[in-house]
A and B are shown apart, each in its own frame.
Chain A
Amino acid sequence: MTTTLDVEHIDSTRIASWRLLLSNPVTVVSTVVLTLVLIVAVFAETIAPYGINSIDVPGALQAPSSAHWFGTDDLGRDVFSRVLVATTVSLKVAVVSVAIAFVAGVTAGVIAGFMRGWFDTIIMRVVDVMFSFPVILLALAIIAILGPGVGTTMVAIGIVYTPIFARVARASALSISVEPFVQVSRTMGVPAPYILRKHVLPNITAPVIVQTSLSLAFAILSEASLSFLGLGVQPPDPSWGRMLFDAQAFLGQAWWLSVFPGAAIFVTVLAFNLVGDGLRDVLDPKQRSIMEARAKK
């Protein structure tokens, strides 16, 4: 097993993966949508036609028009601009919190799966315990301790999604570390960090990438829920969840206040979910054989 062979193998897998990924129209569409969402998130301030906090009380609660595509809210602010800028906020929270969960979870999971023994037992029991708390409830309890705000929301969501990464990473690390060639390397005295980098990490990438995409979807939902409860993003900063909270007082009067921010959450979460599913179909070997079989048909 030479290095060149390994690289070639991985490269050819990658090319095949891309081809498979692009063969699924749903995945292609959702990837395009996701890319658009990301572009909006980066350039929102520039794209937004109005200032997000430009108040105009006499112009409050206007229905959607050519001047205000998504209408105006109870303070006369442009809903379209606020929905755009909220994209930045939501994605920032989602990315940071998933990054926290990713680093903490993957580290714990890989070490547990690779070392096994008492460390593994403890980590897995901790994961079991954390899984017995429903996500939003645990996040709520963490915020009750740390106090509301964007920062604590990121930490809370990060902690809540750590165990799933730990479990996914551990399972993959465990399955690879019992492979004969890894066992042999270990008995031959190859340093653990080398084995981890060379054999374990490449093998856990696929499931972890899939989990990351799905977790981003859940993180956006969680942030929206927490902001809806008034514990996440604080006014006057726009956030989809908070906008929905404010919309509650106007459900019969101004449908646009609840429809557009909710649709923004829905589209973003859906895109992450579909891309995640598409990645799983391609990267998960079991699914992959089915797909390849279908592609041949």
Chain B
Amino acid sequence: MKTTTKIIAVTTAAVLTLAGCSSGESVDLGDGTSDATSAPASSDTLVAAIGGEPDQLDPHITSAYFSFEVLENVYDTLVEPDDSLEMQPALAESWDISDDQLTWTFTLRQGVTFHDGSPLTADDVAYSYNRIINDALTTSWRFAAVESVTAVDNSTVEIKVSQPTPNLLALIGGYKGMAIVEQSNVESGDITTNPIGTGPYSVAEYVSGDHITLTANPDYWGGAPSVDTVEFRFISDGNTAMTALKNGEIDWTDSIPVQQVESLTGDDSINLTVAPSTDYWYLAMNENRAPWNDVRVRQAVAYAIDRDAILQATTYGTGVLNQLAIPEQSGWYTEYHKYSYDPAKAQQLFDDAGFTGATLDFLATSDYPETVTTGQILADELKPYGIDVQIRTLDFATWLDEEGSGNFDMFMLSWLGNLDPDDFYYAQHRTGGGFNFQGYSNPEVDALLDAGRTETDVAARKELYAQAATMIADDVSYLYLYNPAVIQAWSPNLTGVSARADGAIRFRDAVQG
């Protein structure tokens, strides 16, 4: 997996802004670039190798995981997930919900400043959220129920919603794509290369193609970080990254060849962590096209494929098979084991449906080599049933376009960084849902998902989603495959870091020595 470009799959419809950089106008790279010198490698510098370069650093625009690995340390959200993915206060110190559940009032933390020294106010919060809503940015779906965001006074923000939204905190705090940005930084266009946030680190230097250097923010509201400088290097080749880690040239990396995890596990010179993640991989068949609109054909496919083979070939056993989306470690997990590798049953279902054969247009993308690998496995496994799998390998942008236009028979993709069950199921499986590209429609599921959105009792809500998820998998709206692992490694000298299930890379509590 040499050039894996991880892209947050929750993002599909962004606006490309060219603010402040018309043709040929140079973009100010910020203070650090004029006297560009690499920080000396001292014990105060943490060198982290990530697998690729961010496409840009505007948290509201980028959809690349590489960007968020950096931005996690630069920006803050009103609330943020802790280690067990529960929402905790961040820029918002506290919040109140009105009795009708329709007005949320957030009180901001006092004395928080941006990296340029200007104070954080409620206006900044309102500006950030309204930017996402008004510009219809990628993440605007998270504000689908939001009617207005207003600054009541300097430190109070009011969010009005059209219906009770028990998962609002997860929506606005799930990841740094919902960061609070500075208006002047956005309008000058500098945000793409020199973002100014409120987080534990500020961007000091960005050398395209090579590295991004962050320096500790001494005024960070959570206390100044222990490590002075964090340098993110872009090393796509996992072998190089592992060698560099063992040689002490880098201190942390997630650029790790998955096929080597087994042999690296016993290596004492590094701390290798393979932790379960909230991500999941799935297949989806186009229900607007025959024969995939027949539930028996989709179920037949579910019995015809060997999930173990796919899991082994794509994750080398580091992932966990799961026939639903939500992983076992989550409080929202539901037991479900309907499908197994059963060619006889598959043939029976194909026969029942009167299916004799078809070509299958499989959308794969070179940005996720897993999809190409799985496509080749499917081509071999589905051939005996008369299915001719044609793999179309596209770049991810084209891929998304084809997915959006419904131009496929089957595709494989993952969702990353989801927390609330609504994130996992609503947009994907509700009739007409924003990401329901497979065209699934089941009124019972719709009713359950709608009820889940407004149900405030946790136990009742869990039951609603368990029922909905079971129906979704029974109908093979998604053919769920597995939850991949978060794989990270760091030097034994480094403490205070952990491989988080949501993939957030936080260095603010890191200690070296």
A, B in one complex = yes
Q: List 23 A-B contacts (CB under 8 A).
A: A53-B376, A53-B379, A55-B309, A55-B376, A55-B381, A58-B312, A60-B312, A74-B259, A74-B373, A75-B376, A75-B377, A230-B366, A234-B393, A235-B376, A235-B391, A236-B379, A248-B2, A249-B2, A249-B238, A249-B259, A251-B239, A252-B239, A253-B259
Asked if A54 is at the interface of the complex by the 8 Å CB criterion, the answer is yes
CB distance from B254 to the nearest CB of A (A): 16
Number of contact residues on A: which range applies? Answer: 10 to 19
The reply to whether A60 and B366 form a contact with Cβ atoms under 8 Å apart is no
A60 to B377, CA, bound (A): 13
Asked if A250 is at the interface of the complex by the 8 Å CB criterion, the answer is yes
Chain B residues within 8 Å of A54, by CB: 380
Query: Using a CB-CB cutoff of 8 Å, which residues 201-225 of chain A contact chain B?
Result: none
Apart from the given pairs A74-B313, A75-B376, A75-B377, 15 other A-B contacts in the complex at a CB distance below 8 Å: A53-B379, A53-B380, A57-B312, A57-B377, A74-B259, A74-B373, A235-B372, A235-B375, A235-B391, A235-B393, A236-B375, A236-B379, A249-B2, A249-B238, A252-B239
The reply to whether B313 and A75 form a contact with Cβ atoms under 8 Å apart is yes
Within 8 Å by CB of A57, from B260, B313, B393, lies B313
Asked if B1 is at the interface of the complex by the 8 Å CB criterion, the answer is yes
Asked if B257 is at the interface of the complex by the 8 Å CB criterion, the answer is yes
Chain A residues within 8 Å of B260, by CB: 253
Chain A residue with Cβ nearest B2: A248
Which are the 8 A-B pairs with shortest beta-carbon distances? Answer: A57-B309, A55-B380, A236-B376, A248-B2, A57-B313, A57-B312, A230-B366, A53-B380
The reply to whether B373 and A75 form a contact with Cβ atoms under 8 Å apart is yes
CB distance from A141 to the nearest CB of B (A): 16
Chain A residues within 8 Å of B391, by CB: 234-236
Chain B residue with Cβ nearest A148: B393
Chain A residues within 8 Å of B380, by CB: 53-55
CB distance from A2 to the nearest CB of B (A): 61
Chain A residue with Cβ nearest B242: A252
Chain B residue with Cβ nearest A237: B391
CB distance from A69 to the nearest CB of B (A): 21
The reply to whether B393 and A230 form a contact with Cβ atoms under 8 Å apart is yes
Within 8 Å by CB of A250, from B259, B313, B376, lies B259
Chain A residue with Cβ nearest B260: A253
Q: What sequence of 0s and 1s flags, for each residue 119-161 of chain B, a beta carbon within 8 Å of any chain A beta carbon? A: 0000000000000000000000000000000000000000000
Q: What sequence of 0s and 1s flags, for each residue 72-90 of chain A, a beta carbon within 8 Å of any chain B beta carbon? A: 0011000000000000000
CB distance from B408 to the nearest CB of A (A): 16
Chain B residue with Cβ nearest A230: B366
Q: What sequence of 0s and 1s flags, for each residue 352-376 of chain B, a beta carbon within 8 Å of any chain A beta carbon? A: 0000000000000010000011011
Q: What sequence of 0s and 1s flags, for each residue 270-300 of chain B, a beta carbon within 8 Å of any chain A beta carbon? A: 0000000000000000000000000000000
CB distance from A146 to the nearest CB of B (A): 14
The reply to whether A249 and B257 form a contact with Cβ atoms under 8 Å apart is yes
Q: Which residues of A contact B (CB under 8 A)?
A: 53-55, 57-58, 60, 74-75, 148, 230, 234-236, 248-253
A74 to B376, CA, bound (A): 11
With an 8 Å Cβ cutoff, the count of chain B residues facing the other chain is: 24
A234 to B372, CA, bound (A): 10
Chain A residues within 8 Å of B313, by CB: 57, 60, 74-75
A285 to B214, CA, bound (A): 67
Query: Using a CB-CB cutoff of 8 Å, which residues 251-268 of chain B contact chain A?
Result: 257, 259-260
Query: Using a CB-CB cutoff of 8 Å, which residues 210-241 of chain B contact chain A?
Result: 238-239
A251 to B243, CA, bound (A): 14
A250 to B237, CA, bound (A): 11
Chain A residue with Cβ nearest B311: A57
Chain B residues within 8 Å of A234, by CB: 391-393
Chain B residue with Cβ nearest A57: B309
Query: Using a CB-CB cutoff of 8 Å, which residues 375-411 of chain B contact chain A?
Result: 375-377, 379-381, 391-393
Task: Report which residue of A54, A75, A148 has the largest number of chain B beta carbons within 10 angstroms of its beta carbon.
Answer: A75
A148 to B391, CA, bound (A): 13
CB distance from A61 to the nearest CB of B (A): 8
Chain A residues within 8 Å of B312, by CB: 57-58, 60
A58 to B379, CA, bound (A): 17
Chain A residues within 8 Å of B393, by CB: 148, 230, 234-235
Within 8 Å by CB of B377, from A55, A58, A148, lies A55
A60 to B257, CA, bound (A): 16
CB distance from A259 to the nearest CB of B (A): 17
A221 to B473, CA, bound (A): 47
Chain B residues within 8 Å of A252, by CB: 239
CB distance from A53 to the nearest CB of B (A): 5
Chain B residue with Cβ nearest A250: B259
Chain A residues within 8 Å of B309, by CB: 55, 57-58
Q: What sequence of 0s and 1s flags, for each residue 300-337 of chain B, a beta carbon within 8 Å of any chain A beta carbon? A: 00000010110011000000000000000000000000
Chain B residues within 8 Å of A250, by CB: 259
Chain B residues within 8 Å of A60, by CB: 312-313
Task: Report which residue of A53, A60, A248, A249 has the largest number of chain B beta carbons within 10 angstroms of its beta carbon.
Answer: A249
Chain B residues within 8 Å of A235, by CB: 372, 375-376, 391, 393
A248 to B236, CA, bound (A): 12
Chain B residue with Cβ nearest A254: B259
Chain B residues within 8 Å of A148, by CB: 393
Chain B residues within 8 Å of A53, by CB: 376, 379-380
CB distance from B361 to the nearest CB of A (A): 13
Chain B residue with Cβ nearest A51: B380
A75 to B308, CA, bound (A): 13
Chain A residue with Cβ nearest B1: A249
Chain A residues within 8 Å of B376, by CB: 53, 55, 75, 235-236
CB distance from A263 to the nearest CB of B (A): 21
Chain A residues within 8 Å of B366, by CB: 230
Chain A residues within 8 Å of B2, by CB: 248-249
CB distance from B236 to the nearest CB of A (A): 10
A249 to B1, CA, bound (A): 6
A252 to B237, CA, bound (A): 12
A240 to B105, CA, bound (A): 62
Chain A residues within 8 Å of B392, by CB: 234
Chain B residue with Cβ nearest A60: B313
A54 to B380, CA, bound (A): 6
A280 to B280, CA, bound (A): 60
A77 to B371, CA, bound (A): 17
A74 to B370, CA, bound (A): 12
Chain A residue with Cβ nearest B309: A57
A129 to B380, CA, bound (A): 47
CB distance from B378 to the nearest CB of A (A): 9
CB distance from A191 to the nearest CB of B (A): 52
Chain B residues within 8 Å of A253, by CB: 259-260
Chain A residues within 8 Å of B379, by CB: 53, 236
Chain B residue with Cβ nearest A236: B376
A253 to B261, CA, bound (A): 12
CB distance from A19 to the nearest CB of B (A): 51
CB distance from A147 to the nearest CB of B (A): 9
Chain B residues within 8 Å of A251, by CB: 239
A251 to B366, CA, bound (A): 20
